[in-house]
Amino acid sequence: MTKGAATRDRIIQRAERIAGLEGLDGITFGVLAAELAMSKSGLFAHFGSREGLQLAVLLRAVDRFHADVLYPGLRARSGEPRLRSLVHRWLAWERTREARGGDLLSAAAFEFDDRPGIVRDCLVTSQRRWLATLAVACTIAIEAGHFRAGIDAEAWVREAHGVILAHRVAQRLLGDAQADRRAAAAMDELFARSREVAHKPRRRRAA
């Protein structure tokens, strides 16, 4: 790592800690300069603008999401097992808090939804890509006969997303000690319900 890259890395790490607590908007060059004993112009030289630094922090969270959730999840057998692996890793990741960025991505979805710019663009792209990946996995589960035909893959993914988001509010804001258990149960129920009719015709054919 060059000296420049090492400094950039140190700045991003500090900015990540701030963003974990206060959101990407909590990142300001003023605070960072003081915490890192650097000049504001030094920070500018590394990231061009405050938005550039927010983007760097966001991209790092996206990288971690891929490393923790996407890549290992894709290793599972295609169809329902893969979808289940992806979704449960997603839920686990959302619970990891600041350390890995689980906090950051879903908070940023609410923080930046009305604010045009490169940060929002990056967030939209990564979220769309992730949800599309899940929709493909869900479609494969349908085609493989693991899920019943007629399931709307996009609606399915939105429902899983709802479980993730409601879990977050229940755990972080409302302090529900049962939040993890409830979220896992809700996901299980979603999977069970998606297989539901697939079981019925078999019974009918047998009759």
What's the CA gap between 136 and 25, in Å, rounded?
33
Sign of the four-CA dihedral 157, 73, 145, 203: negative
Instruction: Assess 123 for contact with a second copy (CB under 8 A).
Output: yes
Give the range of 8-16, 37-45, 100-108, 141-149 binding a second copy by CB under 8 A.
100-108
Instruction: Assess 106 for contact with a second copy (CB under 8 A).
Output: yes
Give the range of 38-46, 76-84, 88-96, 171-179 binding a second copy by CB under 8 A.
171-179
Q: Compute how many other C-beta atoms are within 10 angstroms of the C-beta atom of residue 128.
A: 10
- What letter represents residue 122's amino acid? C
Give the range of 10-18, 68-76, 121-129, 136-144 binding a second copy by CB under 8 A.
121-129
H/E/C letters for each residue in 135-172?
HHHHHHHHHCCCCCCCCCHHHHHHHHHHHHHHHHHHHH
Instruction: Assess 23 for contact with a second copy (CB under 8 A).
Output: yes
Instruction: Assess 206 for contact with a second copy (CB under 8 A).
Output: no
Residues contributing to the site for a second copy (CB under 8 A): 21-23, 25, 103, 106-107, 109-115, 120, 123-124, 127-128, 131, 154-155, 158-159, 161-170, 172-175, 182, 185-186, 193, 204, 207
